[in-house]
Amino acid sequence: MMEASGGRQRAGMVRDAAGHARVSWGELSRLARAVWLVVVCTATLGAVILLSQIGGPDAMFDVSTLAYAIVPVGSGFLIIFAALSRRGPGTVAWTLIGVGVAFWGFGEVIWIFYSALLDVEVPYPGWADVFYTAAYPIIFGGV
């Protein structure tokens, strides 16, 4: 895509009333679209199953476990991607928030690895705690 030399604006980019750039679905990379679809579908399916209590306690546990891993990691990467695809005020802040959200998700993945996949007690303190606690100051730095 073409960028103007001064404003770093892509040709045909739409801006809202506040001047923020908006990117259409077609302009997103295939990876970004795939991650977005996985995050949204996982969150939607998880909400439907948990609210309707379809499948009983075991299915609800499995769905919530899967959603707790996929949604924060995917959301973190999408926030980072969105922040880095634009320039200007807020880029560093949103990148830090995205990294913090992804770190929280990595903590969930590690926790799930021990508790659900290995079926052992999660070590404390452990790597999950490193990612959980690192998420807070990183997000705070973005805010």
Q: Kindly report, residue by residue over 45-96, the tens digit of the pLDDT.
A: 888 888 888 877 887 888 888 888 888 988 898 888 888 877 778 888 999 9
β-strands 14-15, 21-22 pairing: antiparallel
Percent of residues, the chain, with pLDDT higher than 90: 22
Full-model pTM = 0.73
Q: What gap in Å lies between CA 33 and CA 60, rounded to an integer?
A: 27
Residue 112 tokens, joined: 């799930």
Task: Pick the closest to residue 78 from 35, 134, 20 (CA basis).
Answer: 35
